[in-house]
Amino acid sequence: MTQLNETHDPASRSWVDSANQPDSDFPIQNLPFAVFRRKGSQESWRGGVAIGEQIVDLALAARHPGVFEGMALEAARAGSQATLNALMALGPAAWSALRLALSRALRASARAAQRAALETTLIAQAQAEYTVPARIGDYTDFYTSLYHATNIGKQFRPDNPLMPNFKWLPVGYHGRASSIGVSGQPVQRPVGQQRPLAEGQPPVFGPCQRLDYELELGVYIGPGNAQGQPIPLGQAESHVFGLCLLNDWSARDIQAWEYQPLGPFLSKNFATTVSPWIVTLEALAPYRALLARPAGDPQPLPYLDSTEQRTRGALDIQLELTLQTEKMRTAGQAPARVALSNYRHAYWTVAQMVAHHTVGGCNLQPGDFLGTGTLSGPTLDQACALIETTGGGKTPFRLPDGQTRSFLEDGDTVIIRGWCQKAGAARIGFGQCRGTILPARVTG
């Protein structure tokens, strides 16, 4: 587990002024990674690191003599490509070397020559566009919030909301990598089969009527493991490159009809949106938290249990979801908050997901992607899917202008934000993960 070091010093300031603003997501203590190019250009995609409102272009910086050396240079070169898979494959020592070199070169106290060199590699985020930062080979979505599992279980199985396996293993299913897109991607309302209106009738076929979001975090895998060689819990975090925001768009009516016996399929595979920035586990080190299990719950089996995970396995990440309807947008009204939750409510940790995923011999590969599952907390204002907020659509959510939502309507924009904040540490953020619903295709 990453220890605190000089890169976390909350007193550090950068010569990039916008990084020193108290509400910046990207102060010098964060240094998250994305893949970007100049907006509207045909330039090559390449890796970059956020600092304030700027991006350090890793491809330019890696070619500039005197900016990086040794392992940091190797990492910067790997991060110069159109995907971050090569950087992810290098592992924590290389990521840390690059982070330390960037931290020192971006500090207000940096040497003049180094600052001058790095200054020429900066591009304003306002002039950039982003893509999915890794070639994602496989995507697995977990189900790690006890509150979400219980709330949604009540909708689908009123008599038996929480399945007996939930407290023994991180439940998951294999998702679809091809439809993962970056923040800003338009999301077309899916079309599909829904429950018959009456017993003995054929299913209804048409546009989804119960379209929902799921606020989650995404996890990018770093170095993989050989097939047949599980990753032990104690080493799991050295296989994790970092975390991003994730919206697992969900078609509840399609899900209700298709999900038994093999789980969600078309209700989840039409689109999944990620934030462009990946915040490393090292950047999150000041925000480790106690993994609290309700009294009386079983402790995990030995391969999922350690003192370190119990005491520091969770992460204190604030998560917010806001909604802006088309009418609000037209009227110039700001998005309205629907949920404010925290990742520390999750029942299973990142390391437990990795250890469980591989315990049977499955091999993870650099750039593989895990979703945490919907990160609802214990109260209704912490519910991270509309199906929970509205009790399955029965109690519509009221927006400030009087509009209501049971499920998403065409033109709705969903925005997820995440940040970490506490006394004695620098505030760091994840940027945002945004998507707007487009009408379904016309069906005949």
Active site residue ranges: 148
Task: Classify residue 110 by burial, with Cβ atoms within 10 Å: 0-12, 13-18, 19+.
Answer: middle
* Nearer residue to Ca ion within complex by CB, 216 or 237: 216
Bridge partner residues of 273 (DSSP): 181, 247
φ, ψ of residue 250 in degrees (nearest 5): -140, 130
Instruction: Name the residue nearer to Ca ion (CB basis): 141 or 368.
Output: 141
Helix 70-78, helix 92-106: angle, nearest 10: 100
Separation of alpha carbons 223 and 235, rounded Å? 11
Between 106 and 437, CB nearer to Ca ion: 437
Contact between 388 and Ca ion by CB under 5 A: the answer reads no
Binding segment toward Ca ion, per CB under 5 A, in 31-39, 136-144, 153-161, 302-310: 136-144
CB of 370 to Ca ion, least distance (A): 11
Of 31-39, 152-160, 224-232, 240-248, which segment contacts Ca ion by CB under 5 A? Answer: 240-248
Length, in residues, of the chain: 444
Count the helix, strand and coil residues of the chain and give each as a percent rounded to the nearest 5: 25, 25, 50
Contacts with Ca ion: how many residues (CB under 5 A)?
A: 3
**Among residue numbers 260 through 319, which ones bind Ca ion (CB under 5 A)?**
none
Cβ-based neighbours of 307, under 8 Å, separated by 6 or more: none
- Single out the segment in contact with Ca ion by CB under 5 A; choices: 178-186, 224-232, 248-256, 275-283: 248-256
The contact pattern for Ca ion, residues 205-224, with x = CB under 5 A and - = no contact, is ---------x----------
The one among 57, 237, 248, 368 contacting Ca ion by CB under 5 A: 248
Residue 67 or 136: which CB sits closer to Ca ion? 136
With 0-12 / 13-18 / 19 or more C-beta atoms within 10 angstroms meaning exposed / middle / buried, residue 120 is exposed
Q: Which of 57, 138, 141, 282 forms a contact with Ca ion (CB under 5 A)? A: 141
Q: Tell me which stretch binds Ca ion (CB under 5 A): 95-103, 139-147, 160-168, 395-403.
A: 139-147
Q: Which is nearer to Ca ion, 25 or 141 (CB)?
A: 141
**Which is nearest to 433 in space by CA: 130, 178, 173, 137?**
130
CB of 385 to Ca ion, least distance (A): 8
By Cβ distance, which residue is nearest to Ca ion?
A: 248
Residue 173 CA, distance from chain mean position: 17
Q: How far is the CB of 214 from Ca ion (least distance, A)?
A: 4
Question: C-beta of 134: minimal distance to Ca ion in Å?
Answer: 19
- Cα–Cα dist 260/224, whole Å: 32
Stretch that binds Ca ion, among 95-103, 203-211, 241-249, 356-364 (CB under 5 A): 241-249
- Report the distance separating Cα 5 and Cα 172, nearest Å: 34
Q: Which is nearer to Ca ion, 25 or 214 (CB)?
A: 214
Q: Distance between CA 240 and CA 369 in Å, rounded?
A: 10
Q: What's the closest the beta carbon of residue 371 comes to Ca ion, in angstroms?
A: 6
Compute, in degrees rounded to 10, the torsion defined by CA atoms 271, 137, 285, 21: -50
Residues that bind Ca ion (CB under 5 A): 141, 214, 248
